[in-house]
Chains A and B, each alone.
Chain A
Amino acid sequence: MSMPGFGKTIVDVQNLVIQVKTDAGIGPTLVDDVSFQLRQGEVLGLIGESGAGKSTIGLATLGYTRGSCYMTGGKVVFQGRDIREMTVSERASIRGRGVAYIAQSAAASFNPTMTLYDQICEIPVLQGLLTNEQARDEAVKLFRALELPRPETFGERYPHQVSGGQLQRAMAAMAMITKPDLLVFDEPTTALDVTTQVEVLASFKHLIRENGTAAIYITHDLAVVAQISDSIMVLRHGKMVEHGSAVQILQAPTQEYTRRLVAEHSMQGDFAVNNTKSDVALLSVEAVTASYSSLAKVVDNISLEVRSRDTVAVVGESGSGKSTMARVITGLLPRGAGDIKFEGKSLPARLKDRTFDQLRRIQMIYQMPDVALNPRQTLNEIIGRPVQFYFKRSAAEARTRVKELLRQIDLPEDFIDRYPAQLSGGQKQRVSIARALAAEPDLIICDEVTSALDQLVGEEILKLLKSLQDRLGLAYLFITHDLGTVRRIANKVAVMQQGKLVTWATQRQCFRRRFTPTPKFCSPLCQKCVQTGWTICWPSAKFRPDVFGFCASGQHCEELGGNAFSELLKFRCIEMDAVTRAGLNKCARIQKADAVKRRSLLIELR
């Protein structure tokens, strides 16, 4: 894929094949016939679900393959020379100098006993490119470009003294200090909070543009790839599904798989719950406050209500107390104050004091299917145990019931004697659902159930949950940080921030106000967001996520106060330059304005 406006070709990958080789012979093919070219200043987004071979391709451009993987075909031509024909020492000499790699977990990639300076300056000094002093000056420049706090002294800190997002940027500085021609970003923002993710991404984009570096950006998140890439390659099972310019892939995907991927991302409200609601509160949380052994309240005066057949979404960034609230409801963490009622009767605060029937009727599904299922038990035991435990059925009866449940979650019956390790992530999550269903509950608490899964797999899980709700009349309390999910499945939304409930409304109220790009106040901010963040990559109105409506709606500016800006950031408005800053300041000024004036401004905004 060649595009106008870029410099000379940096890397040319031709028909690359990477296979696993073991004692037993040649194993599976991880990368199958992948080709692309990358020019100076061009950013290629590699996107695909886990196991698609993204990281393997990224590492191959460094001339590296993981243990027992080998490049068995094709070429990786880096600046005119095939990496496969280089000697080991030649390959080592281009790493760091010519190609640099930024890994997913910066925390695991830094040596905790050395200062950041020592680690960042090590490579250029070792390679003889810069003296120690020059390297430090260069590092400070990079810190400044990456918008790190106090760039002059930042490098004197140790890795544990800076935040996750800052460390990820420090790692980018480490990669960029030698001014490499090619940068490989391997999911560098996946482990970060959404807010931080956006800041880090913005500074990466800025530096790539400035230095005219070629870059490969590996991610499973279409939104991220849309922000940063010039061209996109979609991978699946090691094969190239589609490769084209970012605009083409996002607007006119030619392959079915890509279409599904893009469609999933722009899907809206198709699950919106409309069926009849009962008026009886199933679970009501009344002014509940809870804390861990420290004094800080993690959940502060929260009230909400779940009726039968409701799907209530609890939204908030990490650390906002969402999961803690789930623990309080289940009784794992006894509440400090307030009351929790189930069908009008107060639930004991502590798990131990609850009856089996009370326990049975509230079930939970967890975020990480890998640790939610005991690896040493078969599905029969995992799903069958609640049946035997709560309903005192015999082993044979339980087995019949397990088969029935497996059918309900669309898994084949003969999976019954499998162990969790023999299932995929999505299948494991289905088993978690079956285990919850086995108790025949009224309410299921879903704690970020899709966030550990690939996009399309997560989508299937949501569909399954929805159809189970229609059939069995379940109520869900859905904890998530993904507004797309909220929009699709919830009928009520609770937004939490720092342990407090900031919004409690129906989904319609929350998402009703559409954002128009010409409001008077905040307009530089929001317009800029729309222009730089989304409209460039998502040029048609169809793709613009309505989350903007959510964050920029007057209601939110009002309720979130000074946090409106971080809310905006969270919803992926990207560039944070002078214009946005001006917008932010304006926002802050409005907050200081008196209430009447603010109200009038907000009305204008609407």
Chain B
Amino acid sequence: MRLFGYKVPITAQIGMVIIVVNLLIALLAPLIAPYSESDIVCDAWADPSSQFWFGCDNLGRDILSRMMFGARTSIGLSLMITALCFVIGIIAGFAAAISGRWLDIFLSRLVDLLLSMPTLIFAFVILSVLGTDIPVLIITIALLYAPIVFRLARAVAMNITVLEYVEAAKLRGEGIWWIIRREILPNAIPPLAAEFGLRFCFTFLFIAALSFLGLGVQPPHADWGGMVKDLRDMINLGSIAPLYPAGAIALLTIGVNFVVDWMLSIHSRGHGEGA
């Protein structure tokens, strides 16, 4: 199999299938889920049956339906957070790389400050103070991860700004916005795209961790981390129910990583193809 002129190894193909299936489930959840995510439709802790394939949770909700809606929440939130943190990180990183020494020093030290705090503890503090609304959650995690994107974007942009085509654009008198948008960004995309995949995984795991601790997505919305928390007692009853959301988290993470590995290997090989 080939994609954009590159050979796609079997691992990346598996990763792509996993991602596509997850995305489809997330998008189509209201259509394909047998029940709603919050309706109580059966007895609490009911075993899997032909009607409820994965069984029921602590309140009597269908685990399969909640898994599907959970995909929607977890993946959707992660995408939004990752996108936001990339917008912040890339703009700040490119600005630091291009606009001169003082802005660079200011932004870089600010980032060092943010990076010096343990992310989980920092998130705890913010979320306990400001409450666990979805917008607060999004902004908090995006701000926590933006410094890492900033560092990458700055490093990549610094390597590109010294190239002569950027110098040629500066000599022509081009403004900074043109240089970022037309000269640097298109050439920075491969490493940034790979980082996007990885960052998505981290965000995804982070939300799951917060939800597991009760600080993430709040009931009655389903999300995989929260579901692991709700279902964890069932391990004692000999049920494997908590493994479904946990497995889904692991599977998606592995899938994305497979694809990212492939993208990174293309990038490190260097690309001869234009565009």
Interface residues of A (CB under 8 A from B): 23, 330-332, 351, 354, 356, 359, 363-364, 366, 368, 371-378, 385-386, 389-390, 418-422, 435, 439
**Given A376-B186, A419-B275, A422-B274: A371 in contact with B164 (beta carbons within 8 A):** yes
- Asked if B165 is an interface residue, CB under 8 A from chain A, the answer is yes
Q: Within the assembled complex, what's the spacing in Å between the Cα atoms of A420 and B187?
A: 13
- A359→B171 contact, CB < 8 A: yes
Residue in contact with B163 in the complex, picked from A359, A371, A378, CB distance below 8 Å: A371
- A368→B164 contact, CB < 8 A: yes
Q: Within the assembled complex, what's the spacing in Å between the Cα atoms of A368 and B168?
A: 13
Q: Within the assembled complex, what's the spacing in Å between the Cα atoms of A351 and B171?
A: 7
A-B contacts counted at CB < 8 A amount to: 59
- A356→B173 contact, CB < 8 A: yes
List B residues 143-175 near A (Cβ within 8 Å): 163-165, 167-168, 170-174
Return B181 CB to nearest CB of chain A, in Å.
Answer: 12
Residue in contact with B273 in the complex, picked from A363, A366, A421, CB distance below 8 Å: A421
**10 A-B contact pairs sorted by A residue (CB < 8 Å):** A330-B171, A331-B171, A351-B173, A359-B172, A359-B173, A368-B164, A371-B164, A419-B273, A421-B274, A435-B168
Q: Within the assembled complex, what's the spacing in Å between the Cα atoms of A376 and B271?
A: 11
- B172→A374 contact, CB < 8 A: no
Residue in contact with B186 in the complex, picked from A374, A385, A418, CB distance below 8 Å: A374
- Asked if B221 is an interface residue, CB under 8 A from chain A, the answer is no
Interface residues of B (CB under 8 A from A): 7, 163-165, 167-168, 170-174, 182-183, 186-187, 272-275
Q: Within the assembled complex, what's the spacing in Å between the Cα atoms of A356 and B175?
A: 12
- A366→B170 contact, CB < 8 A: no
Residue in contact with B173 in the complex, picked from A332, A389, A419, CB distance below 8 Å: A389
Which A residues are CB-close (under 8 A) to B186? 374, 376-377
Which A residues are CB-close (under 8 A) to B7? 23
**Given A371-B163, A374-B187, A376-B187: A351 in contact with B274 (beta carbons within 8 A):** no
- B165→A374 contact, CB < 8 A: yes
Q: Which residue of A lies closest to B174 (CB)?
A: A389
- A371→B172 contact, CB < 8 A: no
- A332→B167 contact, CB < 8 A: yes
Q: Within the assembled complex, what's the spacing in Å between the Cα atoms of A418 and B167?
A: 22
Q: Within the assembled complex, what's the spacing in Å between the Cα atoms of A337 and B274?
A: 43
Return B97 CB to nearest CB of chain A, in Å.
Answer: 16
Return B242 CB to nearest CB of chain A, in Å.
Answer: 44
Q: Within the assembled complex, what's the spacing in Å between the Cα atoms of A439 and B171?
A: 11
Return A479 CB to nearest CB of chain B, in Å.
Answer: 14
Q: Within the assembled complex, what's the spacing in Å between the Cα atoms of A287 and B167?
A: 25
- A375→B170 contact, CB < 8 A: no
Q: Which residue of B lies closest to A386 (CB)?
A: B172
Q: Which residue of B lies closest to A367 (CB)?
A: B164
Which A residues are CB-close (under 8 A) to B187? 374-376
Which B residues are CB-close (under 8 A) to A439? 172
Which B residues are CB-close (under 8 A) to A356? 173
**Given A375-B187, A376-B187, A421-B272: A385 in contact with B164 (beta carbons within 8 A):** no
- B168→A366 contact, CB < 8 A: yes
In addition to A368-B164, A377-B186, A435-B168, 15 A-B residue pairs with Cβ atoms within 8 Å of each other are A332-B170, A351-B170, A354-B173, A356-B173, A359-B171, A366-B164, A373-B165, A375-B187, A375-B274, A376-B186, A376-B274, A385-B172, A420-B274, A421-B274, A439-B172
